[in-house]
Amino acid sequence: MKFIADIHIHSRFSRATSRNMNVEQLYIAAQLKGITVLATGDITHPEWFKEISEKLEPAEPGLFKLKSNIAVYFDKYVPESCRRAVRFLLSSEVSNIYKKHGKTHKIHNLLFLPDIASVKTLNQKLGSIGNISSDGRPILGLDARNLLEILLETNDQSFLIPAHIWTPWFSLLGSKSGFDSIRDCFDDLTDQIFAVETGLSSDPEMNWRVSFLDGLTLISNSDAHSPEKIGRECNIFNTDLSYPAIRTALQSGDENSFLGTYEFYSEQGKYHMDGHRNCKICFTPEMTLHYNGICPVCKKPLTIGVLNRVEMLSDKIKGDKPEKTHPFYFRVSLLEILSEICHSGYRSKKIQQYYMNVISHLGPELSVLDHIPICDIDMVGIPKLGEAIYRMRHGKLDIQPGYDGEFGKIQILI
């Protein structure tokens, strides 16, 4: 069956997350968006693990669902048009901060496990290495290769996916504290890495320029810290609904099982270009080169963004395609589109009303953005919405690119 999965999110136990990141709100948000499989995130955190163990129950192999005696109280918040089964995948993100060959590395890794007992075992092991209770995304002074080894020893069906591999800070290939290849990081266990998360600031085409990524499945997730952000990037699967089937699809990259990704426009990502946020300097890689990587305002080194970093590690020209690729589709979230139409923030009452109005009539957000006919969208009666979605689907929009932690700005209607 065809379904959408967002397998990197955070609970309210991670730093800087919304209070609403609880199991019930995730259950609602997944349906409004049109997502069938959602990561639990933060499963290494004792309190979140407890909540997950209490409120979820096993469904298909390796997947979990909200207990029906809880779900029944929350179905009323989901319009009929959006109701669907929601499944959870046990997962967490770990921040590995450690020294290797004299250099400090800070990288984020996503962990996936097929059962509660394995999570318990893993949490015991990680708890003896560092503090896993202070943050939903624990910081461990543990070599990423060793984390992978511990994970596989815990359960050989578990897997690790390096998170947002290009962001300057905290990523596998990041300009600030990453590595120059996957092998430099995972050594003898490199073959166990079969997928990487491209992150908001890069798209598959940029990743195609780096040949050591050829053959890996490029996945995309929201890394959501609040329910509204769920699904802003996500993956399309066509498999049985089960953990083993999802794992196999990611591992094989089979084009009939992994159908591709929905992508944020990479220019919109907050580390796309180089620059300094406080100095209001946003540079292309060429301009950074011209200024020798130094900010003309404060004279300190610029934060090198994803575009530049890809350029540094690339060994192929733009447009060169690996043998196996998956389709990808750029999307702008419905709240953002409505926000542009109405000139008001996406949390405003009017926008929230419009949002619910659209999805109650037409179905979940991702269907509206993807394929609901424009004439049907026009029927909802929100001025310019059909036109804006048409333009978004066809890439007819302007983007002021993001840099140094500042999100890019999108303008769809001109």
Stretch that binds Zn ion, among 100-108, 194-202, 389-397, 402-410 (CB under 5 A): 100-108
Shortest Å distance, C-beta 348 to Zn ion: 29
| Site size with Zn ion, rule: CB under 5 A | 7
Shortest Å distance, C-beta 15 to Zn ion: 11
* Cβ 327 vs Cβ 203: under 8 Å: no
Contact with Zn ion (CB under 5 A) among 85, 279, 342, 399: 279
Contact with Zn ion (CB under 5 A) among 72, 117, 289, 297: 297
Residue 186 or 403 having the CB closest to Zn ion = 403
Stretch that binds Zn ion, among 29-37, 199-207, 278-286, 343-351 (CB under 5 A): 278-286
Contact with Zn ion (CB under 5 A) among 10, 55, 225, 276: 276
* 49 vs 110: CA distance, rounded Å: 16
Residue 17 or 217 having the CB closest to Zn ion = 17
Element of type H or E holding 135? none
Q: How many other CB atoms sit within 10 Å of the CB of residue 387? A: 16
* 155 vs 62: CA distance, rounded Å: 12
* 3-state helix vs strand vs coil in the chain, percent to 5: 35, 20, 45
Contact flag: residue 229 with Zn ion (CB under 5 A): no
Shortest Å distance, C-beta 295 to Zn ion: 3
Residue 3 or 13 having the CB closest to Zn ion = 13
Contact with Zn ion (CB under 5 A) among 165, 295, 337, 359: 295
Contact with Zn ion (CB under 5 A) among 108, 145, 270, 272: 108
* 242 vs 32: CA distance, rounded Å: 22
Q: Please, which residues bridge with residue 111 across strands? A: 92, 160
* Cβ 191 vs Cβ 182: under 8 Å: no
Residue 171 or 217 having the CB closest to Zn ion = 171
Tokens 């949490």, residue? 123
Q: What x/- string results for residues 125 through 164 when contact with Zn ion is judged by CB under 5 A?
A: --------------------------------------x-
Contact with Zn ion (CB under 5 A) among 72, 289, 294, 298: 298
Residue 69 or 292 having the CB closest to Zn ion = 292
Shortest Å distance, C-beta 163 to Zn ion: 5
Q: Give the ranges where 233-348 is alpha helix by DSSP (H).
A: 243-252, 285-290, 306-313, 334-342
Element of type H or E holding 51? helix 46-55
Residue 89 or 295 having the CB closest to Zn ion = 295
Q: How many other CB atoms sit within 10 Å of the CB of residue 99? A: 10
* 208 vs 323: CA distance, rounded Å: 10
Residue 197 or 205 having the CB closest to Zn ion = 197
* Cβ 301 vs Cβ 279: under 8 Å: no
Shortest Å distance, C-beta 164 to Zn ion: 6
Tokens 């309210």, residue? 12
Return all residues near 167 (Cβ < 8 A) that are at least 6 apart.
174, 199, 201, 271, 306
Stretch that binds Zn ion, among 56-64, 98-106, 276-284, 329-337 (CB under 5 A): 276-284
Given the rule CB under 5 A, which residues bind Zn ion? 108, 163, 276, 279, 295, 297-298
